[in-house]
A and B are shown apart, each in its own frame.
Chain A
């Protein structure tokens, strides 16, 4: 079984203060001084795939894992970390002209599908949303481009007794679904408090990984070329490659300022709170 897990590290937004949220004419927010991390969906996906590959009992049902990202050289650190914990291949798609891919799931899915079609994977796992755009669409669009079914809000993936099937647990409205499915398939990871954390390589694994190479592929090699002016992929694809244009970024509206209750002690504060605001609202 060949599994590809797609990820895109993003800046740790929790470390940005209010004043750091500003952007240039290209609507780009400078996050260059903040560390980048996996988002929670992708972290679950990456760990889940590792757990799956650990369940191979025979040489015949070995699982080959590829970690795949679309990134510039900064992505190599993360790929090396994944190579250290057991990924067979770390692959980075680099777009020659560095286009703005924040809000373009159509382009992302095009690049990923081109790679997958070339390599012949059976299963692609992605996170539910991420990157700067939080578009939430790359997984669905990838399924469309590959012509594969997909399952969203996945929380657990295990192998079925018949080793060519997977048992997939996912969240639906009002419940949980457990499906036994044939491959090929696109699985999109959701997140819950039970979600796993990505394992950490031990010292030996880190040493060994130093010798492993990251594979870098350009968008041209995949048969596409991203025009940075329009963010359109120049191929003979009939579908439009960008269905929305970014107009503006805005900070969410700060609501009216909070009225603070003054009071010398807790008793006064609680009394004022009750008299002036709660009494009329409480269902007593």
Chain B
């Protein structure tokens, strides 16, 4: 028997107390979506079903109680903390969903300098954790652009990555232990040990689950010594992306680990005003970080690798250092973006993928060509380009960036006219060339049609997890796993 909206709300109030159950219309609207549908919401259109309630969860046992209730009654849940997701993962697409807001769980539990660990609840803002750590000379090493706004729960649930990942790794390299609650109410805690071989690494069932398997309530990450005084920025302008990829590969393969390694194409560079300094060229940049000996050797090593490439001309690193320090997105930038979209009907998105070294340039060229040739509204695009920002021993990621004027369509039609088709072309070209369709933003709800193709035969393993942990399908339906 399906409960009505009012019944759901009443039950939740009984479990949590009424002050924790929000049914204010504006709040419900805001919690029905994430940044994927930002366009329509700026015009006050909310095409996604509005959830029945947003519940403010204060502790793990509350999470357990609520999930048990939702599971018994087959009510869809969406886990949410900072709300900065970009792929629709937070959309409440099932009628009468319940949004589980973990942001009240905002305590930094412990900072442990001996074991180099920091433990935080899921609602802790990463920026605040970083500030606390830096006061003591430490850092998480995790610095996504959403740092001022994102919370630990979401950052782990989406397998996020930060700007300094080339040195510090991504979230999965940083998480030591976790606490998570499963749909049946089971509270599980993974202890903090440096490494073990006690069966498969079960942390990876939780990291990246995007709320489709469990609810993350607490996270312990390792911390690093912070040496900002040794930072060395290096930058060059060059003619070809292909050369840039080649250099990135050489840097990684030769064993250097700059914390930041990026390659911008001309169009994307213009968006960052690089053309004011580099003209119409690609820009390649690195940041060497760490203790003095390492930072110096890294910088020198990279410079030596770039030197023989005649097309690479050095750029003043002061420019890049200044630009980089203003990259993060806080409330001020989001408000300005909103204003610009509302006034000019002009909007931009990104779709980011990954690929091995031998196919990344192919993916870059094929995806852009495909859009140029096949996208029916190419004339509305004002910008189409990309950059690489996370490199590995075996390959790198690629951000495709595209801006357009929204013409002749209703706010809710924007995603079907522009966003979805552009997205689809990039994903298709990436999968065709052997890359992965999502590097770190998460599958969300809009790439699920390719989930099976992405995983191939290994989808068997992924599906097994869903069957085991969420047989009733109440965990963020439509995310990661395609709706059957």
Contacts and interface: CB of A to CB of B under 8 A. Distances in A.
Nearest to A9: B276
B273 A200 contact: no
Contacts of A15: 322-323, 325-326
Most B C-beta atoms less than 10 A away, residue of A35, A193, A201, A206: A35
A203 B384 contact: yes
Contacts of B109: none
A206 B385 CA distance: 14
B323 A35 contact: yes
Nearest to A85: B382
Nearest to A16: B322
A35 B276 contact: yes
Interface stretch (B202-210, B223-231, B340-348): B340-348
B319 A201 contact: no
Contact of A203 (B339, B340, B381): B381
Given A35-B323, A204-B379, A199 B276 contact: no
A200 B403 contact: yes
A202 B381 contact: yes
A74 B276 contact: yes
Interface in A185-237: 193, 196-197, 199-204, 206
Contacts, number: 52
A15 B325 CA distance: 8
Contacts of B379: 202-204
B412 interface: no
Q: How large is the interface on B (under 10, 10 to 19, 20 to 34, 35 or more residues)?
A: 20 to 34
A203 B318 contact: no
A197 B344 contact: yes
A36 B276 contact: yes
A183 interface: no
Interface string B370-395: 00000000111111100000000000
A34 interface: yes
Given A202-B382, A203-B378, A203-B382, A33 B322 contact: yes
Nearest to B316: A33
Nearest to A200: B382
A196 B384 CA distance: 24
Nearest to B320: A33
Contacts of B378: 203
A77 interface: yes
Given A33-B316, A33-B322, A77-B276, A196 B382 contact: no
Contacts of A203: 378-379, 381-384
Contacts of B322: 15, 33-34
B412 to A, nearest CB: 23
Contacts of B319: 33-34
A202 B272 CA distance: 17
- Give the interface size bracket for A toward B: 10 to 19
Contact of A197 (B273, B276, B343, B382): B343
B343 A35 contact: no
Contacts of A36: 273, 276
B323 A197 contact: no
B186 interface: no
A29 to B, nearest CB: 14
Contacts of A196: 343-344
A77 B270 CA distance: 10
A200 B276 contact: no
B287 to A, nearest CB: 16
B172 interface: no
A79 to B, nearest CB: 13
A205 to B, nearest CB: 8
B261 to A, nearest CB: 21
B316 A200 contact: no
Contacts of A199: 344, 346, 405
Interface in B314-368: 316, 318-319, 322-323, 325-326, 339-340, 343-344, 346
A18 to B, nearest CB: 13
Nearest to A210: B280
B346 A33 contact: no
Nearest to B340: A197
B344 A201 contact: no
Contacts of A77: 275-276
A204 B381 CA distance: 9
B117 to A, nearest CB: 24
Interface in A54-108: 74, 77
Contacts of B403: 200
Contacts of B405: 199-200, 202
Interface string A17-47: 0000000000000000111110000000000
B316 to A, nearest CB: 6
Nearest to A204: B379
Interface string A242-277: 000000000000000000000000000000000000
Nearest to A30: B318
6 contacts: A33-B319, A35-B272, A35-B323, A37-B273, A202-B404, A203-B381
Interface of B: 272-273, 275-276, 316, 318-319, 322-323, 325-326, 339-340, 343-344, 346, 378-384, 403-405
Given A36-B276, A77-B275, A203-B378, 14 more contacts: A15-B322, A33-B316, A34-B319, A34-B322, A35-B273, A193-B339, A196-B343, A196-B344, A200-B346, A202-B379, A202-B380, A203-B379, A203-B382, A204-B379
Interface of A: 14-15, 33-37, 74, 77, 193, 196-197, 199-204, 206
A-B residue pairs, 10 tightest by C-beta: A35-B273, A33-B318, A200-B382, A33-B319, A202-B382, A15-B326, A197-B344, A203-B381, A197-B340, A35-B276
